[in-house]
Amino acid sequence: MMTNRLLSAVLVLAVALSCAAVPVRADRDDDDDRARKEKSRRATEQHEMQRRDAVRRDPIIKQPPGYVLDNRYRHNHYYPPRDHVAKVLPREHRVIPYRGVRYYYHGGVWYRPSGTRFVVVLPPVGLIVPFLPPFYTTIWIGGLPYYYAGGVYYTWRPEENTYVVAEAPPESEVSEQPAIPDQLFVYPMKGQSEQQQATDRYQCHRWAADQTGFDPTQSGGGVPEPQIAGKRADYQRAMKACLEARGYSVQ
C-alpha cells in the first residue's frame, strides 16, 4: 500500500516537472529564434553599408600596361600614348567619318586606320561628335565651357545640337571649372558597357538640365547666384531619378 502511494507521488511529480519544462523550453526556443533573426538583420545591414560605401568610394585609378597618365587640368585618367599601334579595335567602338577618312572612337581614345592596324591619333579640329567621352574635365575659356579628355578639346555647337573637336586654347586663357559639390556616384547594375554608361549619363544630363533649368556644364549652372544651391539640388534629384530608371545605383 505504502509502495503504491510512493509510486503515485513520483508519477505526479514527474508529470508536474514535465509540464513546467515545456514553457521553459518554448521560451528558450523563442529566444534562439529572436537571436537568429537579429543576427541576420545585422548581417544584412552590414552588407548594405558595405555596398553603399563601395558605390560612394572614388574609383581607384589603375595604370593599364603601356598607358600614360593625363593629369592636365587634374583630369587624372590613363590613355594609350599618341602613335600607339593597336592590332584590333576595342569592342563597341564607334565609327566617325570625316572628310573621307574613317576615325574610330572608344572611351575617349581616337584611332585612325594604318594598313591592317590602327594608330592612336588626335582627331582633326572640326570633327563632329554626338557625345562626350565617359570621363572629361570642364574648363573655361572666356566664359565658355570646353570639355577636355585625353589631349582633345570639345565644345558644344548649339545650332547643330552636337559637340565638335576644337583647337587647343592658349593655356593663359584657361580657367578650371571648380568641382561641383554633392557629386553623384553611379554604379551600373545591369552590366552596362562603358559606351552605354556615357550615353545614359549624357541623355539624363540633358533631361535633368531641361527639367530644372540648371546646367552644371555652364558657369554657375546658368542660373542667378541666389538660385544655384536650390537648382543644383533639383538637378541632382532629376539625374538620380533618370539614372535609376535606366538600371543604375546612384548615391
Please report the pLDDT score of residue 53 as a whole number.
43
182: number of Cβ within 10 Å: 9
Task: Collect contacts of 45-53 with beta carbons under 8 A, ≥24 apart.
Answer: 52/251
- Nearest Cα neighbor of 151 from 140, 166, 173, 164 is 166
pLDDT score, position 19: 53
- Full DSSP string of 159-224: TTTEEEEEPPPPGGGEEEPPPPSS---EEESS---HHHHHHHHHHHHHHHHHHHS--TTSGGGGS-
What pLDDT is stored for residue 60 in this prediction?
46
Lowest mean pLDDT among 43-57, 124-138, 198-212, 228-242: 43-57
Percent pLDDT > 90 in the chain is 29
Query: Pick the residue with more confidence: 181 or 156?
Result: 156
- Give the residue with greater pLDDT, 196 vs 122: 122
Distance (Å, rounded) from C-alpha 205 to C-alpha 156?
14
Backbone phi and psi for residue 38, each to the nearest 5 degrees, phi listed first: -65, -40
Amino acid at 238: A
Which of 225, 208, 158, 72 lies closest to 200, judged by CA? 208
> In the chain, where are the structural domains located?
68-176, 186-250
pLDDT of residue 216: 77
What confidence score (pLDDT) does residue 180 get? Answer: 45
User: Which of 38-47, 71-80, 89-98 is predicted with the least confidence, judged by mean pLDDT?
Assistant: 38-47
- Residue 181 pLDDT grade (very low, low, confident, very high; cuts 50, 70, 90): very low
Instruction: Output the DSSP codes for 107-147.
Output: TTEEEEEETTEEEEEPPPTT-EESS--SS-EEEEETTEEEE
Torsion over CA: 58, 60, 64, 70 (sign):
positive
Residue 31 burial (C-beta neighbours within 10 Å; 0-12, 13-18, 19+): exposed
Question: What pLDDT digit, counting tens, does each position of 79-112 carry?
Answer: 999 999 999 999 889 999 999 999 999 989 999 9
Q: What is the pLDDT of residue 250?
A: 87
Stated pTM of the model: 0.53
